[in-house]
Each structure stands twice: as C-alpha cells, then as structure tokens.
C-alpha cells in the first residue's frame, strides 16, 4: 500500500489539491478572498503546482530533470507566498495593538535573522544525499523554507499566547494549518536532506508529507467554512454626563 503509484499514493497527491481548489472557490463565493487575499492566492497556487507536478510525474514525455525543475520553480513561488502570508498573520495579530506592535516587530526580526542563519548553517553542514545536484538542492531549499516558516509561526503563537491575544477563528485556522504543515514537513525534509533514510524507504516520507498536507487542508476547511457558535454580549451604553463624572473619578485615582 505504501508504494509509489498505489491507490493511496494517487489519492493523497490529488485529493488535497482538489479540496484546496474547492476551498478557494467557496472562499470566493463567501467573499472571504477579500479578507484573506494571500491565503486565497496560496491555496490556488499550491493546488495548481501539485496537480501540475502530478500530471508531469505520470506523463512519460516529462523527464526527471524537467520534473525537478518544475518542482524548484513551484517551491520558490510557494515559498515567497508563504512568507508573505506569515507577515500578514503577524500584522493582523500585533499591529492592532500599538503597545506591543513595536516589541513584536523587534522579536520577529531578531528571530527571523537567527532562523535564516541557522538554516544556512544546516544547509552547509548537510551531506550530499543524491546523485543529482538538483534533487539535493531541492531538499535543502525545502528544509530552509520550512525551518524559517515554522520558526516564525511558532514565535507568533508564543507571543500571542503570552499576551493572551485572541486570534479570530479563520486566522487561527490558517496559522494552525500552516504551522502543522511546516513542522511536519520540516522534520521529514530534514531527514531527507541529511540522509536519514536509505533511498528505497524515502517513499515513507512522501506519504507522511502528503497525509499531513491533506490534514492541513481539512483544518483550513473546518476553520474557514464551519461557522462558530456566536455568543451575544449585551453592553449597556453609558449616558454622556455619567461618563464625564467617571472620567473625573479616574483622574483623581491616577493623580491623587
């Protein structure tokens, strides 16, 4: 069952991309694409990229080198989109509050630089694991992208949980799916890039990656499309004169 070109293999490669296109369509229908334009774009680009790679894998006319070149191109475009989306998530969480926006920017900048340096160090230290330079480079680029992406997302979760900031449901779902995907892919690509498994067993990593991606798509479906139970809170408006009196009381409290 866990063999290339098995039924499960075909399903795990194609189904998440088809579901993602469906999610993008539904987002457009609900006008969510205006609220999350980068995620909407990433969903379409990722789905098209994976379906193209799948078709190229099956087509006998496409050679191995061409397949890896397409993979590289898709990886670069997807990487840029992912970092832009991480930036958007960060801005939505922290820019709303002026008191911690500056601190958040400093932390994310510092961590970002540290992650890029760590990723570069890991890439330099990684052994040559493939006969083809293009394959080896792809593994290292994947490891680098996922290391930086996962690190930044974990820091966003750390800061928001320390400051008890409540991410709204769709944004939390997007960040959750991306983090889950980035962390699992980081682990699998690190094993692949550092020759952790003999080539015949590498297919297991492909299955883990594809299954993880499928789970992430389902997470996005759940958080973006399943509505949350809404609790209404009644707040009583305060008459203007009472507000003035109250402000004077506050003044006395702050400056006794």
Chain residues that interact with another protein, rule: CB under 8 A: 97-100, 103, 122, 125-126, 143, 147, 150, 154, 157-158, 161-166, 172, 176, 179-180, 183-184, 186-187, 190-191, 193-196, 231, 233, 235-238, 242-243, 246-247, 249-250, 253-254
Nearer to another protein, 67 or 122 (CB): 122
- Alpha-carbon gap, residue 184 to 192, rounded angstroms: 12
What's the closest the beta carbon of residue 243 comes to another protein, in angstroms?
A: 7
What's the closest the beta carbon of residue 157 comes to another protein, in angstroms?
A: 5
What's the closest the beta carbon of residue 125 comes to another protein, in angstroms?
A: 6
Q: Report which of 180, 219, 185 is spatially closest to residue 75, judged by C-alpha positions.
A: 185
What's the closest the beta carbon of residue 28 comes to another protein, in angstroms?
A: 26
CA 228 to chain centroid = 22
- Alpha-carbon gap, residue 82 to 118, rounded angstroms: 19
Nearer to another protein, 31 or 240 (CB): 240
Tokens at 219, concatenated: 């997470």
Nearer to another protein, 138 or 184 (CB): 184
Nearer to another protein, 29 or 162 (CB): 162
CB–CB of 90/167 below 8 Å?
no
Nearer to another protein, 21 or 107 (CB): 107
What's the closest the beta carbon of residue 104 comes to another protein, in angstroms?
A: 10
Q: Report which of 234, 112, 107 is spatially closest to residue 162, judged by C-alpha positions.
A: 107
List Cβ neighbours of 167 (8 Å cut-off, separation of 6 or more): 92, 93, 160, 175
The DSSP symbol for 63 reads: -
């Amino acid at each position: 069952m866990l063999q290339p070109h098995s039924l499960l293999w075909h399903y795990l490669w194609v189904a998440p991309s088809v579901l993602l296109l469906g999610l993008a369509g539904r987002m457009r229908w609900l006008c969510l694409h205006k609220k999350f334009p980068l995620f909407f774009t990433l969903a379409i680009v990722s789905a098209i990229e994976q379906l193209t790679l799948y078709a190229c894998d099956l087509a006998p006319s496409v050679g191995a080198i061409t397949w890896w070149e397409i993979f590289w191109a898709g990886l670069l475009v997807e990487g840029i989109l992912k970092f832009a989306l991480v930036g958007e998530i960060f801005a939505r969480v922290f820019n709303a509050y002026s008191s911690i926006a500056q601190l958040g920017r400093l932390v994310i900048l510092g961590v970002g630089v540290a992650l890029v340096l760590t990723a570069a160090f890991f890439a330099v230290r990684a052994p040559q694991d493939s006969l083809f330079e293009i394959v080896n480079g792809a593994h290292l680029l994947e490891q680098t992208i996922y290391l930086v992406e996962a690190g930044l997302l974990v820091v966003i979760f750390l800061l928001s949980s320390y400051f008890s900031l409540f991410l709204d449901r769709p944004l939390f779902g997007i960040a959750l799916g991306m983090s889950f995907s980035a962390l699992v892919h980081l682990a699998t690509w690190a094993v692949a890039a550092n020759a952790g498994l003999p080539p015949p067993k590498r297919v297991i990593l492909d299955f883990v990656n594809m299954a993880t991606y499928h789970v992430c798509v389902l997470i996005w479906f759940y958080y973006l499309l399943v509505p949350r139970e809404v609790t209404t809170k009644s707040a009583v408006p305060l008459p203007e004169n009472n507000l003035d009196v109250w402000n004077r009381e506050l003044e006395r409290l702050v400056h006794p």
